Copies of this chain bind each other. A is one copy, B any other.
Amino acid sequence: MLPTKAYAAQTAGAPLGPWQIERRDPKPNDVLVDILYCGICHSDIHFAHGQFPGAQFPAVPGHEIVGKVVQSGSAVTRHKVGDIVGIGCMVDACRHCVECDDGEEQFCAGMVGTYAGVEDGKPTYGGYSSRITVAEDFALKISPKLPPAAAAPLLCAGITLYSPLRHWKVGKGSKVAVIGLGGLGHMGVKLAVAMGADVTVFSTSEKKRADAQRLGAHDFAVSTNPETFTRLAGKFDVILNTVSAKVDYNAYISTLKRDGTLVLLGIPDGPVELDAFGLLFRRKNLGASIIGGIKETQEMLDFCAEHNIVSDIEMIRMDQVNEAYERILKSDVRYRFVIDMATLG
């Protein structure tokens, strides 16, 4: 179901038109970026499989983009030709609402998604592509300290974990748990450890124990072992749930300390069921978080450069994307696929 050129050509009756449209010429505040690498996010798969409401095809997924500026508009001041920049899930926003004013563009009603968005009346196309035109304010600076391929997943997976860690004030000595050690979870462990937290990984089996330790986790708990929840009762300030499948939220809430928060980053199909008494008796919270604002994404990238944090990646060719999708659906990736865009024929 990958919306490649071949896929689009096969789509019965679908016009080939829109996705073949040339990138618009940069406006005065735009930069034109040659894409070097693009990470594969689970959202790309949902989107390509038509599981997003309103998804239109043909389309180009990809919102973990690292590339080189090859052209910049006359009014551009933040980037110059030759700079390595990153582009995440957004390419623009309204810029004058309270969310934009607060640097929380991800919540702006006029936010333009990197793909499947609409900009100047035209669809936006993502990072599985050779080039992208983007407003300079939505291109992030990538430090030369960061290897560009492994930095690509920071643009979505990285900020998705960094933002809630900051929002819920994780710092030295905080007790943090990460549910699920995948593309998101492994970034959560690295970032929380770098922030000085005491980090526990919850996983469904023993399989990833060694990896969790290698990534810096201080504890590893098998969630299918009932003793886990007795042992860890009342321990955590913040739990980041990176798993979209339904899990026993009440069991995890029992491992929060007073005023702790279970933060949902993966959202299940159907309603979440909670025993509210579990929240009541230590004033616990259920929250959720989605990526982060532009300023915070830059802060995250700078933090990663300072702490030598990138994603663990497996580099693939463009013609391996369908196979990569299948492997992601089987959780067979440690921990993020990145497409080498030089392989895009």
Which residue numbers of A lie inside 8 Å of B, CB to CB?
98-99, 102, 104, 107, 167, 258, 261, 264, 267-268, 271-277, 279-290
Contacts and interface: CB of A to CB of B under 8 A. Distances in A.
B283 A107 contact: yes
Contacts of A288: 276, 279-280, 283-284
B276 A274 contact: no
Given A261-B285, A285-B286, 11 more contacts: A107-B282, A107-B283, A267-B276, A268-B276, A271-B274, A271-B275, A272-B276, A273-B274, A276-B288, A279-B286, A286-B287
Given A104-B258, A107-B258, A280 B273 contact: no
A274 B277 contact: no
Contacts of A280: 264, 267, 288-290
A251 to B, nearest CB: 13
Contacts of A267: 276-277, 280
Nearest to A164: B283
Interface centre among A268, A273, A277, A280 (most CB of B within 10 A): A280
Given A287-B284, A288-B284, A279 B264 contact: yes
A161 to B, nearest CB: 14
Nearest to A286: B286
Given A271-B275, A274-B272, A276-B264, A283 B167 contact: yes
Copies held by the complex: 2
A-B CB proximity, top 8 nearest: A279-B288, A271-B273, A280-B288, A286-B286, A285-B287, A267-B276, A272-B274, A272-B276
A5 to B, nearest CB: 33
A258 B167 CA distance: 12
A287 B280 CA distance: 8
Contacts of A284: 287-288
Contacts of A286: 274, 279, 285-287
Contact of A273 (B98, B273, B279): B273
A116 B275 CA distance: 23
A107 B280 CA distance: 10
B283 A279 contact: no
A285 to B, nearest CB: 5
Contacts of A289: 280, 283
Interface centre among A102, A107, A261 (most CB of B within 10 A): A107
B287 A283 contact: yes
A322 to B, nearest CB: 28
A257 B275 CA distance: 24
Contacts of A276: 264, 267-268, 271-272, 288
A339 B32 CA distance: 76
A104 B283 CA distance: 10
B290 A281 contact: yes
Contacts of A258: 98-99, 102, 104, 107
